[in-house]
Homo-oligomer: A and B are copies of this chain.
């Protein structure tokens, strides 16, 4: 192996792939990054067996090769080097020599033949998605996915279609977020682990272009420019969530988003001992929304804001879930719907039905 690359290109590719390489894996080879060449191009690949990320690096391959080098050291090292040209060479059996101005380093690696092989594509349909829209959809839904591995189906972000519409959905059964995705006419019912979607989101940061999504029955391949993210899919039937979205509301309030965030945040401080529970009330007579926290030991808090209200209603809600939902809204004003103490509260940006966020009521 003999390759010329710039520190900037190599560092960018390392930051794209290295997070999935873990030193805590039972398989030591997975703490490495595979540095490999294909058709005179340089690639980096890392995997934790659930997710794999492969990045193409701009550079000049003078001699092809294949090395597995510890991810953490390589990433820290390259990001600490000054900008400019680097020479990557294989020395000894599995070692990488990196030469830069003022620096000459050799990093010992592992046998690259132990590295699992990663498919570049999977048999199945390939969709083209708008990168900016996918990014927004993930930002607005991913927080609602469950972290509890006991019910694995809820740890995913569900991509599915219904007629001509397609949706991105996540729920942990305490809250639910659904965003419409303009994916064109497709057939989808694919449940992608939220951890893989986090990597997609992270790599969408500086990439607003098209995302190619290749779906098979048990794998998804996202292609974002020079970065390819391959993930397994989660088995099992996703809950029929549409039925729990209320069709109508007993009470509706329109309110400035930032103001509601502020009062929910303050009330949440007083709700620590009651696991975040606050009571939200809307009143048509007062044209106000109020958020109240009562904590027997800590004290009590009542915050109010003006709102355009129709109907009367109240519900006990988790203040952290409310904050997550409000912070995901992309509008200045939000619509807040209550339908009795036992129905979910619905939050939407004003003026669109593309994004729906549900927060389930707490027993009070």
Contact = CB atoms under 8 A, between A and B. Distances in A.
Nearest to A300: B106
Interface in A70-117: 70, 73, 76-77, 80-82, 95, 102-108
Interface string A267-310: 00110100000000000000000000000011111111100000
Nearest to A109: B299
Contacts of A263: 102-103
Give the number of times this chain occurs in the complex, counting copies.
2
A82 B266 CA distance: 10
A301 B262 contact: no
A133 interface: no
A106 B262 contact: no
A4 interface: no
A80 B105 CA distance: 49
Interface string A53-73: 000000000000000001001
Nearest to A306: B102
A297 B104 contact: no
A107 B294 CA distance: 10
Contact of A80 (B76, B102, B266): B266
A232 interface: no
A320 interface: no
Nearest to A92: B299
B302 A73 contact: no
Contacts of A95: 299
A318 B302 CA distance: 55
B303 A108 contact: no
A297 B262 contact: no
Contact of A303 (B103, B298, B300): B103
Nearest to A272: B73
A76 B293 CA distance: 15
Nearest to A108: B299
A102 B291 CA distance: 10
A265 interface: yes
Contacts of A259: 102
Given A102-B263, A303-B102, A108 B77 contact: no
Contact of A266 (B103, B298, B299, B305): B103
Q: Select the residue from A106, A266, A272, A301 with max chain B CB neighbours within 10 A.
A: A266
Interface of A: 70, 73, 76-77, 80-82, 95, 102-108, 259, 262-263, 265-266, 269-270, 272, 297-305
